[in-house]
């Protein structure tokens, strides 16, 4: 039986890769070696199974910890102390059915779409392009409804001449002298359990087992060029300031056909002249006239769906909060929708004409205007928020 390769190397991730990176790497490998993409290719099938096995271990914190400590020996059960849970692999490894029943969901909507040709017969690169961070400014209306943005991203892209490999042509390779084509190097270490072999990605070839003998003249062997890509990104409704959306694989291309970095899109909220966000609620400070406050009436208020008419009841106090149910922002996780809170203020004319003054004086003599009362039943918190405008 062939010697097992290092699981990190199989997935092309660093030893300190987080769960998300491991999942992404596995998805990429699974798509690349998927039997539907490689009909009748025995080698691809083995790689497909190998990736599933690596993912099974590295995606499970307990198994991963044991693997990190003891390598493949820790997986066999002999050195592991019999904690169980390692039954699946030691014999013939995974069957295809196992893989689909256990990890099928990882393909998600990506399968069929994300497949990327890997140029020079590509194997297990560890090169990874860097992530790109961009900011996107959204209006409240865009946040309320969700929006699709097309972003023009300056980035490194795969060289079109060599397909990202960096090689002049298919004959421009020779077997890596460091690893003799294996793609990994074996080290012997002394451990608590005695001498143990560990395997690491070959530093010379980066895991491909091959070195380039003649470089592509367009990219000087890098496999990448400076370029631009228009990335369409669907931003869900309800996002907020500072949230970061990850678009997998849309960052910088990696050297010589490695794994693309990600595009990280940070959300910024454009401040709105009339509506202030408070979580999923929106607050609007509404000014009404003294006469509307006294007599009632209909006024217009802004909402994220355009202007709306609301009724003001006769005798409305300043500071009264009118709640427009469901007129706030949708929750980003789909838990309903916030409200719009309309906080009433009353505009008092700064100057009165002689006639106005006379009328108000007459009004002031009326019995209903003789006594001021403190306003009850006001929600202090909601009143406070109106001061932040």
Counting every residue written for the chain, the total comes to 389
- Asked whether position 216 contacts Zn ion by CB under 5 A, the answer is yes
Nearer to Zn ion, 160 or 232 (CB): 160
**Residue 123 vs 235, nearer CB to Zn ion:** 123
Is residue 109 a contact partner of residue 115, using CB atoms and an 8 Å limit? Answer: no
Q: Which is nearer to Zn ion, 118 or 386 (CB)?
A: 118
**Shortest separation between residue 214's beta carbon and Zn ion, angstroms:** 11
Q: Say if residues 325 and 341 touch (Cβ distance below 8 Å).
A: no
Task: Please indicate if the annotation marks 385 as binding a ligand.
Answer: no
Is residue 282 within 8 Å of 328, Cβ to Cβ? yes
Region binding Zn ion by CB under 5 A among candidate stretches 29-37, 62-70, 203-211, 355-363? 203-211
Nearer to Zn ion, 216 or 247 (CB): 216
CB 4 within 8 A of CB 72: yes
Report, in Å, the least distance between residue 203 CB and Zn ion. Answer: 8
**Would the annotation count 159 as a binding residue?**
yes
Residue 218, interface with Zn ion (CB under 5 A)? yes
Nearer to Zn ion, 179 or 301 (CB): 179
Hunting for tokens 């530093």 — which residue is that? 203
Provide the minimum distance between the beta carbon of 161 and Zn ion in the complex, in angstroms, as a whole number: 4
205 is in an annotated binding site: yes
The nearer residue to Zn ion, 212 or 259, going by C-beta atoms, is 212
Establish if 123 lies at the interface with Zn ion (CB under 5 A): no
Tokens linked to 46: 């083995």
Our finding on whether 219 is near Zn ion (CB under 5 A) is yes
The stretch near Zn ion (CB under 5 A) out of 214-222, 290-298, 333-341, 377-385 is 214-222
Determine the size of the site formed for Zn ion (CB under 5 A).
12
- Which string of DSSP letters, residue by residue, matches 210-270? EEESSB-TTTTTSSEEEEEEEEEEEEPTT--TT-EEEETT-SPPPGGG-B---EEEEEEEP
Q: Which of 106, 202, 283, 286 binds Zn ion (CB under 5 A)?
A: 202
Q: Does 205 bind Zn ion (CB under 5 A)?
A: yes
User: Minimum Å distance from CB 216 to Zn ion?
Assistant: 3
* Interface with Zn ion, residue 253, by CB under 5 A: no
Bridge-partner residues for 281, per DSSP? 278
The alpha helices in the chain, defined as continuous H runs, are: 7-11, 19-32, 42-58, 61-70, 96-103, 140-145, 290-295, 354-364, 380-385
For residue 167, the minimal CB distance to Zn ion (Å) is 8
212 binds Zn ion (CB under 5 A): no
Q: How far is CA 62 from CA 26, 66, 101, in A?
A: 18, 6, 21
Distance CA 296, CA 312 (A): 5
Residue 14 binds Zn ion, judged by CB under 5 A = no
Using CB under 5 A as the binding rule, whether residue 286 contacts Zn ion is answered as no
Residues in a beta bridge with 156 = 226
Characterize 262-279 residue by residue with b for buried, 16 or more Cβ atoms within 10 angstroms of its Cβ, and e for exposed: bbbbebebeebeebbbbe
CA distance 189 to 185: 13
Tell me the three state secondary structure of residue 161.
coil
Write down the least CB distance from residue 54 to Zn ion, Å. 19
CA distance 72 to 64: 11
Which of 161, 229, 237, 324 forms a contact with Zn ion (CB under 5 A)? 161
Q: Which stretch binds Zn ion (CB under 5 A): 54-62, 119-127, 175-183, 325-333?
A: 175-183
**202 assigned to a ligand binding site:** yes
Binding annotation for Zn(2+): 159, 162, 176, 179, 202, 205, 216, 219
Question: Which residues would be at the binding site for Zn ion (CB under 5 A)?
Answer: 159, 161-162, 176, 178-179, 202, 204-205, 216, 218-219
């Amino acid at each position: 039986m062939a010697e097992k390769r290092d699981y990190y190397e199989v997935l092309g991730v660093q030893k300190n890769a987080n769960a998300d990176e491991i999942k992404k790497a596995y998805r990429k490998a699974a798509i690349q070696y998927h039997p539907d993409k490689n009909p009748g290719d025995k080698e691809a099938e083995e790689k497909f199974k190998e990736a599933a096995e690596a993912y099974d271990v590295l995606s499970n914190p307990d198994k991963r910890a044991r693997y990190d400590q003891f390598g493949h020996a820790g997986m066999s059960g002999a050195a592991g102390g019999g904690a169980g849970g390692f039954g699946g692999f030691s014999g013939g490894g995974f069957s295809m059915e196992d893989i689909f029943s256990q990890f099928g969901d990882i393909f998600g909507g990506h399968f069929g779409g994300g497949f990327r040709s890997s140029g020079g017969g590509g194997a297990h690169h560890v090169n990874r392009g860097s992530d790109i961070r961009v900011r996107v400014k959204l209006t409240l209306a865009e946040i309320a409804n969700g929006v699709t943005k097309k972003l023009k991203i300056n980035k490194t892209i795969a060289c079109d001449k060599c397909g990202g490999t960096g090689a002049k042509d298919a004959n421009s390779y020779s077997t890596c002298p460091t690893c003799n084509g294996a793609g990994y190097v074996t080290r012997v270490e002394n451990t608590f359990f005695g001498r143990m072999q560990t395997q690491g990605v070959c530093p010379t070839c980066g895991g491909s087992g091959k070195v380039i003998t003649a470089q592509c003249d367009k990219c000087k062997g890098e496999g990448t060029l400076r370029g631009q890509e228009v990335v369409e990104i669907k931003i869900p409704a309800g996002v907020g300031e500072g949230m970061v959306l990850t678009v997998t694989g849309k960052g910088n291309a990696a050297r010589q056909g490695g794994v693309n970095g990600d595009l990280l899109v940070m959300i910024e909220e454009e401040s709105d002249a009339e509506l202030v966000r408070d979580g999923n609620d929106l607050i609007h400070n509404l000014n009404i006239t003294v006469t509307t406050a006294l007599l009632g009436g209909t006024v217009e208020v802004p909402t994220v769906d355009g202007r709306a008419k609301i009724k003001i009841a006769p005798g409305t106090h300043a500071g009264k909060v009118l709640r427009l149910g469901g007129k706030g922002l949708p929750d980003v996780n789909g838990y309903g929708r916030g409200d719009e809170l309309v906080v009433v203020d009353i505009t008092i004319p700064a100057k009165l004409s002689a006639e106005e003054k006379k009328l108000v004086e007459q009004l002031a003599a009326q019995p209903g205007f003789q006594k001021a009362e403190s306003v009850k039943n006001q929600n202090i918190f909601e009143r406070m928020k109106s001061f932040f405008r």
